[in-house]
Amino acid sequence: MSGKSGVSLSDSYILQMDGMNITVTRKRMKNLRLKVTPDGEIAVSAPYGVTRQVVDEFILSKRQWIARQRERAVRLAAAHDRLEPGGAARFWGQWFEIEHLRAARRRVTWAEPGRLVVCCQRASEIPQLMNGLRRDETARLARPLVDRWQTQLRLPVPSLIRYRAMTSRWGSCNHSARSLNFNTRLSRYPVEALEYVVVHELAHLRFPDHGREFWALVGDALPDFRDRRALLSDDV
């Protein structure tokens, strides 16, 4: 295969293609698998019975996909918070530089322009304090939106609202219990995105599924809801 070379190992080898190192590992499995890790590394898992030629041809067929996934990994890595002294965190669509101030009293202070001063004894405490700030910020802006849209759309009053870090959802609604959950990572995005999630979850208080009536309600409230939803496309 043009532009590549490989060094065989006992159960794995390294393939070089387009300046990239691709780790191929032999495993007890049925099908070839290819993944690009969040840090941009490329790994292929191959069954023992599949020949080197078949593996190489499989990788070549995924050349464009690999390039796209690596570009995405680089973009997402640049968008992630660095919760350390001199790092940065994103709140409501804007980046804030993190300054660490050694102090006995633990707190986070907003400073202008574009700075967050984190007061604590050790730098290792910064992530915990920033997680607390995300929870507080999400609640600070989400709760007024919940009250406004619940009243305006004449929906049932939520019995419970929680704010927590979630890995696969921006929000959730328990229709029968009338409880709402909002992902604290929403605080990384513009308020317009948060408002979409609030309306989305509130609409579930009336319509449990994503049927036509559900989307009609969301669309009547926020005609640009698709644009707002797209703001969240680089995460979760």
What gap in Å lies between CA 22 and CA 17, rounded to an integer?
7
Question: What residues make up the domain containing 52?
Answer: 4-78
Does residue 140 belong to any structural domain of this protein? yes
Confidence of residue 75 (pLDDT cuts 50, 70, 90): low
What gap in Å lies between CA 44 and CA 23, rounded to an integer?
6
Does residue 235 belong to any structural domain of this protein? no
29 shares its domain with 113:
no
What is the model's pLDDT at position 118? 97
Does residue 236 belong to any structural domain of this protein? no
CATH of the domain at 148: 3.30.2010.10
Does residue 102 belong to any structural domain of this protein? yes
Q: What percent of the chain has pLDDT over 70?
A: 90
Residue that terminates a domain, selected from 40, 61, 78: 78
The one-letter amino acid code at 127 reads: P
What gap in Å lies between CA 36 and CA 113, rounded to an integer?
37
Whether pLDDT at 5 is above 80: no
Low-confidence winner among 13-27, 88-102, 112-126, 129-143 (lowest mean pLDDT): 13-27
What is the model's pLDDT at position 7? 35
pLDDT tens-place string over residues 202-217: 999 999 999 999 999 9
Overall average pLDDT of the 142-166 stretch: 96
More confident residue, 60 or 38: 60
Low-confidence winner among 17-26, 169-178, 190-199 (lowest mean pLDDT): 17-26
Whether pLDDT at 76 is above 60: no
10 shares its domain with 73:
yes
158 shares its domain with 108:
no
104 shares its domain with 16:
no
Q: What is the mean pLDDT of the chain?
A: 88
Q: Domains in the chain: how many in total? A: 3
183 shares its domain with 148:
yes
185 shares its domain with 150:
yes
Overall average pLDDT of the 184-192 stretch: 95
Does residue 209 belong to any structural domain of this protein? yes
61 shares its domain with 99:
no
pLDDT tens-place string over residues 128-148: 999 999 999 999 999 999 999
Low-confidence winner among 8-17, 39-48, 78-87, 89-98 (lowest mean pLDDT): 8-17
27 shares its domain with 38:
yes
Overall average pLDDT of the 120-134 stretch: 95
What is the model's pLDDT at position 78? 59
85 shares its domain with 14:
no
Whether pLDDT at 236 is above 70: no
63 shares its domain with 107:
no
What is the model's pLDDT at position 227? 95
Confidence of residue 32 (pLDDT cuts 50, 70, 90): very high
187 shares its domain with 139:
yes
161 shares its domain with 210:
yes
Does residue 50 belong to any structural domain of this protein? yes
Does residue 46 belong to any structural domain of this protein? yes
Overall average pLDDT of the 69-83 stretch: 73
